[in-house]
Structure 1
Amino acid sequence: MTRPRRHRRPPLRRRLALTASAAVAGVALAVCAGAYAVTVYTLNRQFDLQLTQAATLAIQQHQENGPGVQAGECRFLAAPACAQLVPESATGDPRGSYLLPVTGAVRQVASRDRAPFYSTASVAGHPVRVLTTPARRGLAMQVALRSDGVQRAERQAAGLLAVIGGAGVPVAALLGYWVSRSGLAPVARLTSTAERITATRDAGHRIDLPAGPRGREDEITRLAVSFNTMLDALEESLAAQRRLVADASHELRTPLTALRANAEILLRAEQLTPRQRERATGALSRQLREVTTMINDLIDLARDEEPQQALELVQPTALLEHAVAAARDHWPHIEFVLEAGPPAGSVLAAAVPSRLARLFSNLLDNAAKFSPAGGRVEVTALRSPADGRLEITVRDHGPGIDPADLPHVFDRFYRARTARALPGSGLGLAMARQIAHTHRAELTAHQAPGGGALFRLRLPADAGSAR
C-alpha cells in the first residue's frame, strides 16, 4: 500500500515574493485601470461641453427657422456641428428626410416632456455624438459632432496604459523578489545560526544585529534580539550545568576516595585491632552520611520548583521555632536567640513545610558553623509595616563575609578561603536560595554592622495574611 504524497508547501521566501509581486502588480494594474477610466471620463466630458456650446450657438443662429436640417457639414472633422430642428408632432415635419435619426424621445424633448439627453449615431459612415435639447416652443434642436477623434484618443490611452501595466508586472516581480530577499535576510541568518548550533552543539553563536539606536528595531530585529537573548540564557544554563557536573565530581572525589580506603582497610579486618576496626567503621559511616547528604542536596538542587499539590498553609514562625530548637541540640556550644513579634506569629504562608524548614536549618547551620565557641546567633521574625511581608533575619558574630565573596555566597560548591577548612560541601546556601526562589521569597546576604554575617529572608506579601 503506497502512502499518499503530502503536498509540500513552497518556501517562505518564494511565497513572500509571489505575494509581494501579486500585490504590486495588482496595484499597478488598478492604477492603470483607474487612469484609463479618468481619461475616458475627461475626454467625454470635454466633448460633451463642446457639444453643448455648439447647441447653444445653433439655437441662437436658427431662432426663426422652421423644422428641418439647419447645418449638415458634420461629416468632416473640421466642419461645424450638424444641426436640425424637430417638431413635437410628425404632422409638421418637412417632406425632406432628416440628417440625424428622429425618435419618440426627440419629440418628447420638443414637447418639454423629457430632459435633454446625449446619444450616438452615424453620419456618412462616421460616428457622431448627438445632443438633443429644447429650442423654442414645440421644437427640439439636435446637434451632432464627429466622435471618432475621441474614440481614437481612448484607444491610444488604453494601449499606452496597457503597455505601462504590462511593464509593471515584471517590475513587480523584481520588487517582490527584492522584498523577500531583504525582508527575510534576518530570518535566514537566524535559521543558519540555529542549524549551526544544532550541528556543532555550540551555543556561543549569535546573530549579527544591524547597527542603530535601540527602540527603533523592526519585528525581525526584535526576533533576532530575543533569539540572541535565548542563546545567552542557554549558554549560561549549559555552562552552569557543566560547572555543576565538574564541581560535583570534584567534591565527590575526596569522600569517595576516603570511602574506598576505609573499605579496603575493613577488608583486612582480621589484621586490625578492635580499636582500629571501630575507628575505620565510624569513619566509613560518617563518610557515607556525607556522601548521601551531598547526593540528596544535588537532587534537591536539580529540582526547579515545588509541586503544587505539596503546598499548604503553614506558620513560618512555628517552623522557625522548631528549626532553632533543633539547631540548639545540634550546636550545643552556640547560643541561639529567637525574637518573633506578635504579628509575625499569626502570618500564614503557602509553602512546603519540609522545604521551608530545610531553608531555616541551612541558614542556622551556616551561622553556627562560622560562630566561635560560645558565640551567639540572633534570629528575628518581624512583619514589615510597609508592605506586610514577613522578614526573617539570621545574624552571627563570626568573621563575616569578605566583600569579594559576597556576590558568590549562594553559588553551588562555592566556599570562601576562610571556610575551606570547615566541614560542608558548599551546597547549603545554594539550596537555601533555591528554596526561597521556589517559594517566591527573597534571600539576601549582607555584612552585619559590627562584624559577622546577616542573612535576610522576605516572604512575599501575597503569600501571607494575618488573622
Structure 2
Amino acid sequence: MSGGRRRRALGARWRRHRPLRTRLALSASAAVALVAIGICTAAYFVIRYEMYHQLDLNLTQSATRLVQSDRHPATGVLSGECRYLSAPACAQVVPSDPAEDPRERYVLPVSPPVREVASGQRAPYFSNFTYEGHPARLAVTPIGGGRALELALRADSVERGIRQAALLLSAVGAAGVLLAAALGYWVSRTGLAPVARLTATAERIAATRDPRHRIELPPGPPSREDEVTRLATSFNTMLGELEQSVSAQRRLVADASHELRTPLTALRTNAELLARADRLSPEQRDRASGALGRQLREVTGLVNDLIELARDEEPQPLLEEVRPAALVEHAVAAAAAHWPATPFPLHVAPEAVPVTLPGVPARLTRLLTNLLDNAAKFSPPKAPVEVELVVSGAHLEFTVRDHGPGIAPGDLPYVFDRFYRAEAARALPGSGLGLAMARQIARAHGAELTAEQAPGGGALFRLRFGERTHE
C-alpha cells in the first residue's frame, strides 16, 4: 500500500472511531492554533525586520555623513571604534583593485562582493558577520573613484531584542494553543448540543417506540435559527408526522377489527346453522345460504377496501386519457340499476362532453360509484339524486346532491375519515370506507372532493378536477 493510501486509510479509521464532538473540538482547536502560531511567526519576522532596518538606517546615515564630509582617505581604516564596533560606526575604504590596498591590515572583512561594489558592478548591500565572537552588521556603499565604503556596528542589542521577542511570542503562541483547545471544546459542546439532544431523542424513541417525544428547541424567533436548530425543527416535524401515522395505523387496526367483528359473527352463526342443515327446512336453508353469501361478499369488499386504504396512497397504474362525461353516464346507469327506487337525473353540460383528463378509468368509476351509492343510501324513497357535470372556469366540476337529512355541522370535518359513521348513518349498511376511498382516489388524480349542506336540505358533494384539456 502506498503512503498516500495508507494515510487515507488511517484518516478514515480515525474518523470512524472518534465521536463527532471530539473531531469538531480537535478541528476547531487546530484551526485556531494554526492562526495563533501563524500570527506569532509573522510578528517575529516583522520585529526582526524592523530592528535590523533601524540598524541599517543608522549605518546609512553614518555613511552619508562620511561621504558628504569628504574626510575619508583614499584607502584604509577611518576613525571609529573599530576595536569594539560600537557607535560611531567603524569605517574603512576599500578600492576595487587589490593592488591599491594600503599596507595596514583591514579591520573589517573584505570579500569579492565589496570589490564589486567599489567597481560599480554591484549595488550597495547589508550583511551580517561575526567579529571576535560578537554579531555585527555591515553596510557596503560606493563612494566613487573605484572605491567602496564599509561601515560596521555591533548587533548584540538587536539579536538580544530578537531573542526576547521570540521567547515572548512563543509564550503567546503556547497560550493561544491552550486557548484554542478550550475554545474548541466549548464550541463542540455548545454547537453540538442540539445534535446531542436529537441523538438522545432518537435513541429514546428507538428504545420506547414512542414517537411523542420532541427535541427541546432554544428560545428565539424562527428567523434567527441556525442550521442545527432547523435540523431539530425538521426532526420534530418528522416525529409529529410519524406520530400521526402511528395513530392512524392504530385507529385503522382498531376500527377494522370492530367493523369485522359483526359480519364475522354473523358468518359463524350462519355457518353453524348450515352445519345442522338436516334439522332445517328447505326455506331456512335457502335463507341461511343467501345470508351467508351476502355476508361473504360484504366481508370480501370490506377487506379489499382495507387493503387499498392501508397503503395510505393510491397505486400508480398506467394513466390514460379518459372522458369524464362517458364515465359519469356509465356510473349513473350502474347506480340506477343498483337502486331502482331512486331516480338519478343527469345533466352534462355540452362544453363538458369533449373534455378529457389523464386518469385511471376503473379508479375514477369507483370514485363516482361511491358518491352515488352514498347519496342513494341517504335519500328517501322516490327522492331524486341530482347529478351534474359542468365546466366552471378552467376546471371540470362533478356534483352529487341528495334530498336526505344532510350532514350535521359537527360531522362535516369527519365525513371523509375512515370508518366514520354519523349518528344518522349508524343504522344504515356500509363500513364507513366509501367516502374515505373516494377522497383518496380524488387526491391521486389531482382533484378536490368536498362536502357541504345543500340549499333546501340534503348533502352536496363537489368533485373539482384540475386544468381541463380537449381533443
Question: What residue number does 2:37 align with?
Answer: 29
Question: What residue number does 2:6 align with?
Answer: none
Question: What residue number does 1:108 align with?
Answer: 116
Contact 2:305 2:433 in 1 (8 A): yes
1:93-172 alignment runs, 5 A limit: 93-172=101-180
Question: What residue number does 2:28 align with?
Answer: 20
Q: Is the counterpart of residue 377 in structure 1 residue 403 in structure 2?
A: no
Measured in 2, the distance between the counterparts of 1:384 and 1:393 equals 12
Per-residue deviation, residues 350-392 of structure 1 (Å, max 9, x unmatched): 222111100000011111112222222222222343xx33222
Secondary structure of the corresponding residue to residue 400 of structure 1:
coil
Contact 1:336 1:377 in 2 (8 A): yes
Question: What residue number does 2:52 align with?
Answer: 44
Structure 1 stretches of 5 or more lacking a match? none
Which range moved further: 16-25 or 275-284? 275-284
Per-residue deviation, residues 187-226 of structure 1 (Å, max 9, x unmatched): 1211111111111111111111111111221111111111
Measured in 1, the distance between the counterparts of 2:72 and 2:289 equals 145
1:279-358 alignment runs, 5 A limit: 279-358=287-366
Q: TM-score, normalised by structure 2?
A: 0.91
Paired residues, what number? 459
Matching residue within 56, 73, 80 for 2:81: 73
Measured in 2, the distance between the counterparts of 1:227 and 1:74 equals 81
Q: Is the counterpart of residue 177 in structure 1 residue 185 in structure 2?
A: yes
Measured in 2, the distance between the counterparts of 1:192 and 1:397 equals 57
Contact 2:15 2:23 in 1 (8 A): no
Per-residue deviation, residues 142-163 of structure 1 (Å, max 9, x unmatched): 2111112211211111122222
Secondary structure of the corresponding residue to residue 222 of structure 2:
coil
Structure 2 stretches of 5 or more lacking a match? 1-12
Question: What residue number does 2:10 align with?
Answer: none
How far is the alpha carbon of 1:233 from its aligned partner? 0.7
Q: Is the counterpart of residue 243 in structure 1 residue 251 in structure 2?
A: yes
Measured in 2, the distance between the counterparts of 1:74 and 1:382 equals 115
Q: TM-score, normalised by structure 1?
A: 0.92
Question: What residue number does 1:262 align with?
Answer: 270
How far is the alpha carbon of 1:170 from its aligned partner? 3.0
Q: 1:122 to 1:283 in 2, by over 3 A?
A: closer
Measured in 1, the distance between the counterparts of 2:123 and 2:333 equals 111
Secondary structure of the corresponding residue to residue 159 of structure 1:
helix
Question: What residue number does 1:442 align with?
Answer: 448
Question: What residue number does 2:7 align with?
Answer: none
Identical-residue share of aligned pairs (%): 64
Secondary structure of the corresponding residue to residue 173 of structure 1:
helix
Measured in 1, the distance between the counterparts of 2:140 and 2:221 equals 70
Letter in 1 for 2:179: V
RMSD after superposition: 2.2
Measured in 1, the distance between the counterparts of 2:461 and 2:178 equals 72
Measured in 1, the distance between the counterparts of 2:433 and 2:77 equals 117
Q: Is the counterpart of residue 413 in structure 1 residue 419 in structure 2?
A: yes
Contact 2:66 2:72 in 1 (8 A): no
Q: 1:92 to 1:310 in 2, by over 3 A?
A: closer
Q: Is the counterpart of residue 431 in structure 1 residue 428 in structure 2?
A: no
Q: Is the counterpart of residue 273 in structure 1 residue 281 in structure 2?
A: yes
Contact 1:75 1:124 in 2 (8 A): no
How far is the alpha carbon of 1:309 from its aligned partner? 4.0
Secondary structure of the corresponding residue to residue 48 of structure 1:
helix
Letter in 2 for 1:277: R
